[in-house]
Structure 1
Amino acid sequence: VHPTEKALIVNYSIEATVLDEYQNTMIGDKKDAQKIIRLKSLSPSTDIRALAKEVINRCKLIHPTKLVEVEQLLFYLQNRRDTNLTSEATPSDPQKPISDELEQPSIDSQINEIASLNDIDDYAEMLYENVPEKIKGSALILQLARNPDNLSEIIQKESVLNVLTRVYKEEWNQSIELATNIVYIFFCFSSFTDFHPLVSQYRIGAQTMTIIEAEMKKYDQWMEEIAREQKKKPRDTRANITIDNKYKVLIRKQEQFLRVAFYLLLNLAEDLKVELKMRNKTIISHLIHALDRDNNDLLILVVSFLKKLSVFVENKNDMVSSS
């Protein structure tokens, strides 16, 4: 799906060959291309199945056997919030996010600085400092990554990507804001199929699965702690109100991470081989577990992911056994 518009992106290859009189190939060339199918008529009341059939009938690049997959993508677009990118940035609005569906990480509200590509190496240096500096540095890099025009420049900065990956793998548990900023940076890359090899190269998907599993366990511990505290004190005491507020903040920040993390994995799952790896790492049980949350944006994303996975009987069986 297109990261900012109600549109589908079709990636395809064009192969041209010149044959000699004996039908032997003399010259051959292959070129990758992309077609964007904009869905201006898509609305909450649209018949998804009918629209999917119309898309396939009009776009000969999509094989009829892809009908179910097209339906899933349309369902996701139908439930996604409208998003917009502006080509011009202002000091009060540095960059619009690639997807407004993903809540802006909270650290951004504390940064008045407008990030510049010229200073990206300085931002990367902050990732070697203390946690607040790490958060600030990653937030500034994220500010740049939200602008799709910057991605091709950032990808050239191998040292920046290396330090982001190292911190994400080794220091993610120091701060959920830090982990959210970094996974959001790689989410920006995952929004474009051409950058999927980059995300795979740094094994971001595997690390994200590891963090999701840890955060799910942490959530269960919080629920147990809340239950114990509530048993100790009357429900309407000030102490209980303080406890509730404390965990609300923790859960909100955690769900902010989970939304970006699951969205990144959903993008990477375009490749069925990658999707199979996720299944082997119990992605389905984590998605089912996330259905216990009250965050509507997270729930829409989780249901869309489960719907995509449900194409295969084995995945359906896993969903039943995990619920």
Structure 2
Amino acid sequence: MKVKDFYFDLPEELIAQVPLEKRDESRLMVVDRKTGELEHKKFKNIIEYLEPGDCLVLNDTRVMPARLYGAKEGTGAKMEFLLLRRIEKDLWEILVRPGKRAKVGNRFVFGNGELKGEIVKVQDDGNRIVKFEYEGIFEEVLDRLGEMPLPPYITEKLQDKERYQTVYSREVGSAAAPTAGLHFTDELLEEVKAKGIKIAFVTLHVGLGTFRPVKAETVEDHQMHAEHYYLSEENAKIINSTKENGKRVIAVGTTSNRTLESIASENGRVKEESGYTSIFIYPGYKFKIVDALITNFHLPESTLIMLISAFSTRDIVMNAYSEAVKERYRFFSFGDAMFLH
């Protein structure tokens, strides 16, 4: 299967640079994944497509303000650190720019010296391991000094940091937001519950590999990055009871989808589990547990458009994307949504 089979022409002006004033006023394209039939709605209309007993599975990860600007000790050279993942307490894997100024033993200062870091290892992929020093609680220091690591295709400055968080985010650890969930408001979630729809949470800490382009020519040759996930026993029970009652498990976002499919047994059941997943879902994959999917509109030739093509068909998805471009839908992180059912 060729990567170029998932290309579509996207006018740059359709890439959403800022979130809408009201989260649930985004547009929603409703797609029958078997027939390809399309409907155009507002996101708040999602409630019409959910039935009592269905279960929405939300990824409750919270984005770290993971971009730090500082200076090299001694020279004062300006540096940018991007935190990717915590290895243990004060040891982090990071991306550094410019990389040539970050050798083992080099030290860096952030803010007014309230955070310092020393490079302890350079990895084969060019990422660095840094050991941080600070007073107090690291997360509080990071909140003061860090900036939200918006994707490279968003060039506007974000006025309100919380708009790159879901309203239900709580487990800090992502380098990027699970963006399908950005459309939900507290009020809409209350409506969902009032209708008898269950809500379960998974945690998948989204890595920056999400934005890495697929460089292989054939889909099967692409290697996915690993991301950490967790599902509690309580949430596993909610999901399993949904399946046992013959109702739908609806993944909110490709991150929730990948987590569920990583954990699910062949008979479509889940259990409490944590670990790392590098599952790559593309056409030909047989879904074990997910029955419907809420997702945003993704980059051409990305692993995410391959995942939704696996959930439906490539032809149906590419036709829906062509319609989205024609109808001037907003794309990517702050863009509009699609419901595949």
Greater helix proportion: 1
Point out which structure has higher relative CO (alpha carbons under 8 A, 6+ apart): 2
Which protein is richer in strand relative to its size? 2
TM-score by length of 2: 0.30
For normalisation by structure 1, the TM-score amounts to 0.31
